[in-house]
Amino acid sequence: MLKTSFFSSNISQLSPLPILSIRRQTKLKAPCVKMELSITRPDDWHLHLREGELLEAVVPHSSNHFGRAIIMPNLKPPITTTVKAVAYQKSILKSLPENCDFTPLMTLYLTDTTSPNEIQLARESGAVFGVKLYPAGATTNSEDGVTDLFGKCLPVLEEMVHQNMPLLVHGEVTSSEVDIFDREKVFIDKILSPLIQKFPRLKVVMEHITTKDAVQFVESCDEGFVAATVTPQHLVLNRNSLFQGGLQPHNYCLPVLKRETHRQAIVKAVTSGSKRFFLGTDSAPHEKRTKERSCGCAGVYNAPVALSVYAKVFEEAGALDKLEAFTSFNGPDFYGLPRNTSKIKLTKTPWKVPSSFSFALGDIVPMFAGETLEWLPSNL
């Protein structure tokens, strides 16, 4: 009942609000209160949907409750042109469940040879909303990424400023001499800071931030030009979760989970109400056997649990009144897109996460597989 009194005493502060209703279910033996939140339909500003059968298997977990998603281009081969992005968008739309209102916002995969003209085509298409920088070798399917941003990509970056096309960044250096836990911080110092100094009017989203350094960096930049997405796992797990009771491959993603102080800094930032941080799950499905083998893939499949996890984080921080801005307002505001108009409901009721999802080619294990969560999302 503790949480209920917390919640009730905060109702006035929450107004005009995400709260729909608090219902007392008197029929049950022990009186229990069911809390519900109504929030504007969220968007996911960083999502991997893959292709083919895997796409078909995972897309409903995002399209059920999210209105739009920024779709990552790191396919094999990657989505390097507008023509490919438009074709990929069509295949996503074809794979959607019936009667679902979900818009995939496409991205281009930046390479050393991307031309400024391609950026113009991307803008004209109306389908592409960002260009993704993967430093070559930094993460899953990044082999074709950029080897030398300042040496090879300046004309493209200039055109992006011109077209107001955001640069979405996997912010890690790749040098094997740099400790894996320091790669985000070194990237900020060596690449991101100089980039922003050179292009102060380039919109940059630092994707899936994992450190206090990233929080401080984003907070120090111009609000309209630099923002960050935050994943569920980087809000609730620290690097201990990789080794708890043995190696935990399903918690392995890149950038890798960091120490607790970093997690706490990220939680503080997103629950502060700052407009610079918004929802980007980085839901990254890999087949179970490719996660559990001797050289396992990086990526956490969190789409089925993401909204429950985000709500829990805001609840525990006493900041449920700020959840809706993080899930549904800050992202579209930064991208210059309208906010969604429909709503979803989050009900504080226990629900069990499936231990895996089967599809034609195998199984996918979600984050918090087999565990019980609260804040079940449903459509209104």
Ligand X SMILES: NC(=O)N[C@@H](CC(=O)O)C(=O)O
Query: Which of 41, 123, 170, 276 is close enough to bind Zn ion by CB under 5 A?
Result: 170
Greatest Cα pair distance in the chain: 69
Q: In the complex with ligand X, which residue's Cβ is closer, 131 or 320?
A: 131
Q: How far is CA 158 from each of CA 30, 167, 176, 178, 196, rounded to the nearest angstrom?
A: 64, 11, 30, 29, 12
- Least distance from C-beta 170 to ligand X, angstroms? 5
Q: How far is CA 157 from each of CA 26, 107, 125, 131, rounded to the nearest angstrom?
A: 61, 15, 18, 10
d(CA 209, CA 228): 7
d(CA 47, CA 68): 10
For tokens 């031309």, the residue is 115
Write the interaction track for Zn ion spanning residues 137-156; mark x where CB under 5 A is met and - where it is not.
--x-----------------
- Least distance from C-beta 190 to Zn ion, angstroms? 17
For tokens 């895997």, the residue is 54
- Least distance from C-beta 282 to ligand X, angstroms? 5
Q: In the complex with ligand X, which residue's Cβ is closer, 20 or 178?
A: 178
Is 118 near Zn ion (CB under 5 A)? no
CB 283 within 8 A of CB 306: yes
**Residue 235 DSSP SS3:** helix
- CA triple 375-219-337, angle to 5 deg: 60
Tokens of 346: 């989050």
Give catalytic residues, as residue numbers: 46, 48, 132, 170, 208, 282
d(CA 371, CA 30): 24
Is 50 near Zn ion (CB under 5 A)? no
Q: In the complex with ligand X, which residue's Cβ is closer, 36 or 282?
A: 282
Residues 273-312 binding Zn ion (CB under 5 A) are 282
- Kindly give the residue spans of alpha helices, DSSP state H, lying in the chain: 2-9, 11-14, 52-63, 82-95, 116-125, 149-152, 154-163, 183-187, 193-198, 212-220, 232-236, 260-271, 288-291, 306-316, 323-324, 330-335
Q: In the complex with ligand X, which residue's Cβ is closer, 74 or 107?
A: 74
Among Zn ion, ligand X, none, the one that 253 touches (CB under a kind-dependent 5 to 8 A) is ligand X
Q: Which of the stretches 144-152, 162-170, 256-264, 308-316 binds Zn ion when contact is defined by CB under 5 A?
A: 162-170
Write the interaction track for Zn ion spanning residues 121-140; mark x where CB under 5 A is met and - where it is not.
------------------x-
- Least distance from C-beta 8 to ligand X, angstroms? 39
Residues that bind ligand X (CB under 6 A): 48, 74, 139-140, 170, 253-254, 282, 284, 298-299
- Least distance from C-beta 55 to ligand X, angstroms? 13
- Least distance from C-beta 271 to ligand X, angstroms? 23
Give me the half-sphere count of Cα atoms (radius 13 Å) on the Cβ side of residue 130.
29
Q: In the complex with ligand X, which residue's Cβ is closer, 266 or 325?
A: 266
Q: In the complex with Zn ion, which residue's Cβ is closer, 139 or 330?
A: 139
Q: Interface residues with Zn ion (CB under 5 A)?
A: 139, 170, 282
